[in-house]
Amino acid sequence: MKLFFSLLFIGFLSFLSFGQELSLVTPLHDSIAETSGLIYLDGKLITHTDSGGEPILYEIDTISGNVTRAVVIENATNIDWEDICYDSTYIYIADFGNNNGTRTDLKVYRLLISDYLSTTTDTVSVDTIQFSYLDQTSFSPSTFSTNFDAEAIISYEDSLYIFTKNWGNRWTNVYALPKLPGTYQIEKIDNINVQGLISAGTYDSETNTILLSGYTFTTPFIVEISDFNSTDFANGTIDRYQLNTPTGSSIQIESITSIEANKYYLSAEKNGSDSPALYKLEKSTLSIDQIDQYLARIFPNPTSDFIELRGVDFSIVEIYDALGVLQKTSKNELISISDLSRGTYLLVAKDVNEKDILTKKIIVQ
């Protein structure tokens, strides 16, 4: 994401805000100045670079910021690697950066952890999970206005979850992607009002929380998603934390990884004269007056009498049954659904231009 920051962050290099000050671990070596993903695996901190970079995973010395090992993926290309995650068996490298909304070759590379750890030549091979967005019908260039760019992926239970970087409405859409090699059309399962552009994600298995990093035009932030049931992420507890970076270190945070419960590394790529950097965040240092808490929620859900919308600035709400037939409309935040039969429905909130701003599955009991 070099172009965006070179155009829009100039003039904001000495902004003031009231967020959490990140702790600088070390500046990063020039060879990984375009750091774009981060995992902490087997005691090793691993990153990669984004568009224009080599198909290489780099291990970072957290004392000096230097590269201690470079592992080449011989059958992959780096069109625009944007994030990385792993489960008990595989590393997943997300090649789905899509600033213009025109790509038809979105993919995730799958690498055996055992191959990565045991290679004696620092060369490995991967297999490929290819996908497209089911709801993307146009591939005309829409630079910095598309909602089909993405820079965040997590592994959660038996699937991968992509959190999009919505240039158009500053939300994030959530898509589930199988972990098996193949070609898939993936469907949007959720969306969340993150009030900015999401640049990375990580799942903290010890606390069962998801952290997304992102930025507005003036400041970076993280969004924490907790207390969710299954994959119903948007109806969990959502907290948004503003962040500050030390003077002279980049504010362009591009990656985040959990290192232990409530402790995280974040990396930022070079931004103008500000150095690429590795940061550490301990969630316990965040105080309540530094948290911008907001709700974009539908509740109760499941329900039998009514539902209420909070944190959504909508013009009209439409409720569809499982066959896609419109069953109900409302312009109120409190909506009676007692006249609906038991079953699963899709709620769609629209703005004054009739643009979808929230879609959510609801269950009527």
DSSP states along 8-72:
HSTT-TT----SEEPEEEEEPPGGGTTEEEEEEETTEEEEEE-TT--SEEEEE-TTT--EEEEEE
Torsion of CA 317, 323, 324, 329, to 10 degrees: -30
Determine the structural domain holding residue 162 and report its residue range: 2-293
Residue 77: other Cβ atoms inside 10 A: 12
Q: 258 with 40: CB under 8 angstroms?
A: yes
How far CA 345 is from CA of 25, 191, 297, 322, in Å, comes to 48, 16, 16, 6
- Evaluate whether 192 touches 296 at the Cβ level (below 8 Å): yes
pTM of the entire predicted model: 0.79
Domain boundary at 252, 267, 293, which?
293
pLDDT digits 0-9 by tens, 105-116 = 999 999 999 999
Each residue's pLDDT expressed in tens, for the chain with a length of 365 residues: 544 433 333 233 223 335 677 999 999 999 999 999 999 999 999 999 999 899 999 999 999 999 999 999 999 999 999 999 999 999 999 999 999 999 999 999 999 999 999 999 999 999 999 999 999 999 999 887 899 999 999 999 999 999 999 998 889 999 999 999 999 999 999 999 888 899 999 999 999 999 999 988 668 999 999 999 899 998 898 888 888 899 999 999 999 999 999 999 999 999 889 999 999 999 877 654 444 444 456 778 888 888 888 767 788 999 988 888 899 999 888 898 989 999 988 888 888 877 767 777 888 98
Same structural domain, 333 and 264: no
Considering the domain architecture, whether residues 151 and 204 belong to the same structural domain is answered as: yes
Same domain, 357 and 332: yes
For the chain, what is the domain count?
2
Q: Which of 248, 266, 293 is the last residue of a domain?
A: 293
- What span, in angstroms and rounded, lies between the C-alpha atoms of 4 and 9? 8
Instruction: Report the CATH number that the domain containing residue 308 is assigned in CATH.
Output: 2.60.40.10
The answer to whether the beta carbons of residues 275 and 28 sit under 8 Å apart is yes
Same domain, 223 and 348: no
